[in-house]
Structure 1
């Protein structure tokens, strides 16, 4: 790959095939957004190995999904179920400058942040496929240091299950902790990048929660804020 390659829409597709090829990794390393550092293969492998050291060899592994993994997992799964996690909540708490945002038109991205509770989807990965599937997941979630892998306890029908998920790195310069609701809504409404809009990501998350019959108070507040901003913009445009 030449050093002057520019990223294209297809580089940002989140499919098993593109993750296996490392398309996004190569594209970002060749053309990183201003202010973003992309992990090397060695760094990705080191963080993966550190995480796997805390998982018993030969056992199935569970992954807790709360955002795009709910509606586009791109994982080879042995099963899935609705689950709840206590002590963490779903939040649009990361400023997004790749995929569905750029440094010029940043969007907002979901992560798990401290406090509250979160309902989502628990995926089970067969023991024989754990390492291969997590390597694909690492190429999706661990490109930069905005996310941190974290072991949590998920509850399914009253049963506690140890699971892996990705939580926000609160020390990251793109962390939006403390942002007012209207500012986060503005990022969602205006963010745009090679993969599409931040609004599409938000709408897909809302639709996935509805399909699963899950309610999220924080997301519902954002829905009201975004719709109010849409109505105000339309009213202003109509004079």
Structure 2
């Protein structure tokens, strides 16, 4: 699927000069490309052992798959932030939204979910349709420290900096504009961020930086 993006002259009326961004044409991964991505990510999995998934955004409050265990966990080397323009789930090609991604540096607290090996593939395929529609993430196995001290490798979706949808550091007025207008097939960006902030706090691991950003920009 491709989409035409507005030219600068067509968007000169925008109250924020940095929005909407010039992202070029968008294209959804084909079924074959998505399957290849999934198979590549699972090469190190023996298909007999349960596997872990690391949730740091909507997976915390809407995992969308049956899990046999869920526990607070922490990964080092990556932090959570609104680094991905969303042209499907939380926005449109004309008014992209924002979603969270893991970017390099720092650490991130989230929820590790254990998925039973038996019958896992259909659920992983559904997860790939949800998270890898445009291939903006890099699936990676990250070392996680669970709240009870166990150490596991968990599959997570890490931001690719080589794609046009990578935002880099955004100004508050840009985020404020997105909160005011962006909505996609799963709802608004503002609702997405608000629900993530609430879920993190309810899980006993509030993200102070994300809460402050929501307060400033909502």
TM-score range, shorter chain: 0.7 to 0.9
Deviations 1:67-99 (A, max 9, x none): 111111110111111111111111111112213
- Following the alignment from structure 1 to structure 2, what is the Cα–Cα distance between the partners of residues 189 and 89? 25
- Following the alignment from structure 2 to structure 1, what is the Cα–Cα distance between the partners of residues 161 and 201? 29
| Residues 1:48 and 1:193: Cα distance change in structure 2 (over 3 Å) | closer
Matched, 1:208 2:196: no
Partner of 1:161: 152
Matched, 1:141 2:145: no
Partner of 2:21: none
- Following the alignment from structure 2 to structure 1, what is the Cα–Cα distance between the partners of residues 176 and 150? 36
Partner of 2:104: 114
Matched, 1:125 2:118: no
- Root mean square deviation of aligned Cα: 1.6
Residue 119 of structure 2 aligns to a residue in which SS? helix
Distance apart, 1:155 and its partner CA: 0.7
Task: For 1:1-239, list aligned pairs within 5 A.
Answer: 29=1, 32-34=2-4, 35-156=25-146, 157-227=148-218
TM-score computed with the length of structure 2 as normaliser: 0.84
- Following the alignment from structure 1 to structure 2, what is the Cα–Cα distance between the partners of residues 137 and 80? 17
Contact 1:182 1:225 in 2 (8 A): no
Residue 36 of structure 1 aligns to a residue in which SS? coil
TM-score computed with the length of structure 1 as normaliser: 0.77
- Following the alignment from structure 2 to structure 1, what is the Cα–Cα distance between the partners of residues 141 and 103? 14
Contact 2:53 2:113 in 1 (8 A): yes
Deviations 1:163-203 (A, max 9, x none): 00001111110111132243234323331234321111111
- Following the alignment from structure 1 to structure 2, what is the Cα–Cα distance between the partners of residues 75 and 37? 26
- Following the alignment from structure 2 to structure 1, what is the Cα–Cα distance between the partners of residues 185 and 41? 31
Structure 2 unmatched ranges of 5 or more? 5-24
- Following the alignment from structure 2 to structure 1, what is the Cα–Cα distance between the partners of residues 209 and 3? 29
Residue 128 of structure 1 aligns to a residue in which SS? coil
Contact 2:98 2:189 in 1 (8 A): yes
Return the structure number with greater helix share. Answer: 1
Of 101-110 and 74-83, the range deviating more from structure 2? 101-110
Contact 1:101 1:191 in 2 (8 A): yes
